[in-house]
Structure 1
């Protein structure tokens, strides 16, 4: 059975070391003429929601989204050198992506709050962009609510690869919003406590499967294989084997 694996980027695959918040601040300043007066709040939200909240907190009307997206893309492109210098790939992320590329029947892309242009910048900065199919991902420009990105990715992957709507989807992410997005869409989630949320917090959000990080490549691959077997068993009318 095919399996769609959708990766979050920030704090799941890479550590941006504050560059993300600088991108939002720079985009805001480009649009308003002055910097934000308070720190940008991200917490797994989409770029649409982050920027709308930023304007709301400054009691300003949001510009047209097309203008905001362009400002974000320009700020993101300018940030790539700083990202390379200050950021890094999280332990095990590259190894997991490379190992999973060899898995038959598996499609890997991203489900991220970043706009597509900045998702590419962040992965390209660390030479990860060729390990996932970015053309079929779901991005922060597609929907304000992260949960609404899952159907977007399903449609794109299905159209590109000829997969049925029943194809199993697994989100890999580090925040409760990743967990909630999966649960709201009958998808599985592999939660990774590599960001600011603990394993306890991710389990409390509803994640069945939580890892401290991606260091154990064999474990990551095993979990995703077992999720695929579990889904395949359900499709065939018999219980699947659940990951331990």
Structure 2
């Protein structure tokens, strides 16, 4: 049975060890010529909103998006080796991605606030890129708000992988915004308390299935198979 599984990246699949916020700071500095007054506010926002917020908080006119995306791309590419050195794939991630990718009827990709170039940097830093169909993912340049990314991923899955219109979609993520995106779009959600948000916060946001992490491959796979059969 078919299923579209969309994994968040930061704090769901990987721990970026602060490199992600360094990317935003470097992009900001490259465009504005000065250091930001504080770190980027992320927590599941798209790159469009993260960078817009940084410019506004620092009193800098927001450049056009093409320039911002170019700066983010350059900053991300420059930190690939640093991310590989300092960060890590989270426990259990490689195993569950292998299981999901082995199911020919499933589409396993990403739904992330990162732009596509930096999403690829982050998963390739730990050899996860070959376990995901990144062509059909939805990324931070595709929409301002996270819920709107679900339709982007679904359309790409239909166009590039031949997925049917009514195929269930599952979001796996670590923030209340992941939960909200699932609820707003009628998608399923597996919330993972592997980031800064507790299991209680994720449940309060509306997640009915909350896991401490992705270490229990059989449990995660069982939940996904239940969604596929629904």
Task: State TM-score, norm by structure 1.
Answer: 0.93
Give the number of the structure whose alpha-carbon radius of gyration is greater: 1
Please list every run of 5 or more consecutive structure 2 residues that lacks an aligned counterpart in the other structure.
none
CA contact (8 A) 2:32 2:60 kept: no
User: Once the 2 structures are TM-superposed, how far is the Cα of residue 81 of structure 1 from its aligned partner?
Assistant: 1.0
User: Once the 2 structures are TM-superposed, how far is the Cα of residue 165 of structure 1 from its aligned partner?
Assistant: 1.8
* Deviation readout 1:203-244 (Å, 9 max, x if unpaired): 1000011100000001010010011112xxxxxxxxxxxxxx
Does residue 190 of structure 1 match 2:204?
A: no
* Deviation readout 1:94-147 (Å, 9 max, x if unpaired): 111012222241110100000000000001100000101001100000011011
Residue of structure 2 in register with 1:176 after alignment: 176
Partner SS state of residue 56, structure 1: helix
User: Once the 2 structures are TM-superposed, how far is the Cα of residue 6 of structure 1 from its aligned partner?
Assistant: 0.4
CA contact (8 A) 2:12 2:90 kept: yes
Residue of structure 2 in register with 1:204 after alignment: 204
User: Once the 2 structures are TM-superposed, how far is the Cα of residue 38 of structure 1 from its aligned partner?
Assistant: 1.2
Does residue 12 of structure 1 match 2:12?
A: yes
Residue of structure 1 in register with 2:121 after alignment: 121
* Aligned positions of 1:226-241 closer than 5 A: 226-230=226-230
CA contact (8 A) 2:192 2:199 kept: yes
Partner SS state of residue 206, structure 1: coil
Partner SS state of residue 184, structure 1: helix
Say which is worse superposed, 63-72 or 96-105, in terms of deviation: 96-105
Please list every run of 5 or more consecutive structure 1 residues that lacks an aligned counterpart in the other structure.
231-244
* Deviation readout 1:144-181 (Å, 9 max, x if unpaired): 10111000000000111222221110000000000000
Displaced runs of 4 or more, over 6 A: none
Residue of structure 2 in register with 1:136 after alignment: 136
> How far apart are the structure 1 equivalents of 2:86 and 2:162?
40
Residue of structure 1 in register with 2:92 after alignment: 92
* Deviation readout 1:53-76 (Å, 9 max, x if unpaired): 000101222101000000000000
> How far apart are the structure 2 equivalents of 1:228 and 1:215?
21
CA contact (8 A) 2:116 2:139 kept: yes
Say which is worse superposed, 187-196 or 98-107, in terms of deviation: 98-107
Partner SS state of residue 35, structure 2: coil
Partner SS state of residue 185, structure 2: coil
Residue of structure 2 in register with 1:62 after alignment: 62
CA contact (8 A) 2:179 2:189 kept: yes
Task: State TM-score, norm by structure 2.
Answer: 0.98
Residue of structure 2 in register with 1:218 after alignment: 218
Residue of structure 1 in register with 2:71 after alignment: 71
